Amino acid sequence: MIFFTTETPAWIVAPVVLPLIAGLFCFLFSHRTFSIALIAALLNFLAVCFLTRQLILFGPMHCHMGGWQPPLGITLRTDGPAVLMLLMTAVTGLGITLYARGYFSHRMVTPVRSDRHRQQQRYFWPLWMLLLAGLNGLFLSNDIFNLYVTLEIVGISAASLAALSGKPASLLASFRYLLVSLLGSLTYLLGVVFLYRSCGVLDLDLVQNLAGDGVEVRAALALLSVGLMLKTALVPLHFWLPPAHANALAPISVILSALVVKGSFYLLFRFWFEVFASIVTSSALNFMGTLGAIAILWGAIQAIRQHRLKLMVAYSTISQLGYLFIAFPLARVAGNAQLWSIVIFMALAHAFAKSAMFMAAGSVYLHLGHDRIKDISGVRSSLPITVFAYGIAGVSLMGLPPSGAFIAKWMLLSSSLASAQWWWALVVMSGSLLAMIYVFRVMSRFFVIPAGLPPDTTEPLSPLMEWPSLVLALISLFLGLLAPWPLLILAEGSTSLAQVFPGGMP
């Protein structure tokens, strides 16, 4: 019998195993699924906090599954970025769990289609828990093939969730989503194959050491990147995202928009700036930056043109994802640490803000029975907290101080100006202004006092539907003021970026 101490690296598996078991139980039992999920989300949050503390106290941790060292075994490891992404997932996940509870119980009240609603609630919880496990596994894994499996878990559960509403539009979107996700995974897998051909290892640290700058490795990186870009919905490959995100049920839109796309992006970023940093060329970085710039502008313009609130929020996701990529070309000037902080802040801020915004949109949808932007006036007096949350989330998306996105944009701007690449700065600024337009186009409708009395038909929304979004929005807004802590965690984790593993055979 082994006794666990706070220094034992085996704690790493908790964020994967806990939601996994919860998912199994949620499927097995048809009652009290919410309680199981809530407990799992809470425990997951605690476990992640524990890992964070462990990281700060003892530095990055490596845990070899089954005790088998690389190259043969699979390693899970924590470092700064991974822990921050886990924290993001855990906090958002807790909010989503509560919100989903409110959402489903509200829908259960309505007599029409209660059959379908029961079915949705029944299968939401296991799918969501397994998705959470997959995401956590993705952030923790240090094995390129294991990452493929986690990507598949995330992809399948996300597609199933996207189809859960059962409406034809969402089924179609979800089918497309599933195929795109599969295509992405296969492309990724082809990249893994190329990599295995040339390196013969799967552990990322070993790959980092063994990968030369051969053409095969380059091809592998290209394939891995294309696969992940598909899943991240970078602009030319973004077509699947808006319908899938907008037509899903509200808690699911939150999951997809705030968390799922971050997983593949995180991998992409890790590959480019950690594992394959030595073979990445400037022109490739500029190419990614250009795509990001196009994404920012295109997504924002599309968001402005939408007539439905949820579609607008979905397009805003495309725009916001662009910011993550526009950081790429600044790698040479900003340095890795700065780059990681830009991306992490952006990702965190977006996750919190976007989840708050989708939650608010979902509440509005449920309250009014539609989400046509031109007809949403008067919501302010009936859903004040939701409207407030929407506004704060919007502020955060615009990157106004003191949001986390502001910190990221500040660093983006200062590194682009410091390297005299002012055009990136211009794109960032115009993206913010466009975001202002789409955020406030809706916001101003909230403030319109409707001519007639609003039809007072619906039940009041449960506080579980309003408060999580407000709390998440506030976290996103004050992330900038809390900036030292993420930076501390990042700094703790950065030793792993330089850590060299003994290569070769054991």
Beta-bridge partner residues of 64: 75
Q: With left for phi above 0 and alpha for psi between -120 and 50, is residue 32 left, alpha or beta? A: left
Residue closer to another protein, measured from CB, 65 or 277: 65
Task: State the binding string over 212-251 for another protein (x if CB under 8 A, else -).
Answer: --xxx--x---x------------------xx--xx----
In order of 333, 366, 395, 396, the CA distances from 313 in angstroms are: 33, 16, 13, 13
Burial string for 81-96 (b: 16+ CB within 10 Å, else e) reads bbbbbbbbbbbbbbbb
> Residue 445 Cβ, how far from another protein at the closest point, in Å?
8
> Residue 37 Cβ, how far from another protein at the closest point, in Å?
14
> Residue 23 Cβ, how far from another protein at the closest point, in Å?
8
Interface with another protein includes 109 (CB under 8 A)?
A: no
DSSP code per residue over 137-159: HHHHB-BHHHHHHHHHHHHHHHH
Structure tokens at 61: 């941790």
> Residue 460 Cβ, how far from another protein at the closest point, in Å?
14
Q: How many residues bind to another protein according to rule CB under 8 A?
A: 133
Strand ranges (E), 324-401: none
Candidates 33-41, 47-55, 84-92, 207-215: pick the segment binding another protein (CB under 8 A): 207-215
Residue closer to another protein, measured from CB, 79 or 143: 143
Interface with another protein includes 142 (CB under 8 A)?
A: no
Contact 256/245 with Cβ under 8 angstroms? Answer: yes
DSSP code per residue over 367-406: HHS--BGGG-TTHHHH-HHHHHHHHHHHHHHHT-TTSHHH
Interface with another protein includes 455 (CB under 8 A)?
A: no
Query: For residues 290 and 45, what is the distance between their CA atoms, to the nearest angstrom?
Result: 36
Interface with another protein includes 264 (CB under 8 A)?
A: no
Task: State the binding string over 322-361 for another protein (x if CB under 8 A, else -).
Answer: -------------------x--------------------
Query: For residues 281 and 268, what is the distance between their CA atoms, to the nearest angstrom?
Result: 15
Instruction: Evaluate the CA torsion angle 259, 264, 266, 267 in order and state its sign.
Output: positive
Candidates 40-48, 270-278, 322-330, 413-421: pick the segment binding another protein (CB under 8 A): 413-421
Report helix, strand or coil for 61: strand
Residue 197, Cβ neighbours under 10 Å: how many? 12
Residue closer to another protein, measured from CB, 35 or 239: 239
* The one among 83, 88, 96, 127 contacting another protein by CB under 8 A: 127
* The one among 110, 119, 281, 282 contacting another protein by CB under 8 A: 119
Helix (H) or strand (E) holding 35: helix 33-58
* The one among 132, 398, 427, 461 contacting another protein by CB under 8 A: 398
CA 161 and chain centroid, separation:
15
Interface with another protein includes 55 (CB under 8 A)?
A: no
Task: Please measure the distance between the N-terminal and C-terminal CA atoms of the chain and give it in whole angstroms.
Answer: 27
* The one among 71, 322, 362, 493 contacting another protein by CB under 8 A: 71
Candidates 27-35, 83-91, 269-277, 323-331: pick the segment binding another protein (CB under 8 A): 27-35
Backbone angles phi, psi at 449, to 5 degrees: -90, 115
- Of residues 167 through 186, those in contact with another protein by CB under 8 A are 167-169, 171-175, 178-179, 182-183, 186
The helices-and-strands tally (H runs, E runs) of the chain is 20, 2
Structure tokens at 476: 């996103």
* The one among 30, 283, 374, 453 contacting another protein by CB under 8 A: 30
Residue closer to another protein, measured from CB, 159 or 280: 159
* The one among 39, 46, 56, 145 contacting another protein by CB under 8 A: 145
Interface with another protein includes 444 (CB under 8 A)?
A: yes
> Residue 204 Cβ, how far from another protein at the closest point, in Å?
15
For tokens 């790959």, the residue is 207
Half-sphere exposure of 248 (CA within 13 A, CB side): 31
Q: What is the DSSP letter of 67?
A: G
Interface with another protein includes 402 (CB under 8 A)?
A: yes
* The one among 118, 297, 499, 501 contacting another protein by CB under 8 A: 118
Residue closer to another protein, measured from CB, 64 or 106: 64
In order of 40, 282, 345, 414, the CA distances from 407 in angstroms are: 32, 25, 7, 11
Residue closer to another protein, measured from CB, 243 or 468: 243
* The one among 15, 81, 102, 126 contacting another protein by CB under 8 A: 126
Interface with another protein includes 501 (CB under 8 A)?
A: no
The burial of 15, by beta-carbon neighbours within 10 Å (0-12 exposed, 13-18 middle, 19 or more buried), is given as: buried
Interface with another protein includes 57 (CB under 8 A)?
A: no
Candidates 196-204, 264-272, 288-296, 353-361: pick the segment binding another protein (CB under 8 A): 196-204
Contact 241/159 with Cβ under 8 angstroms? Answer: no
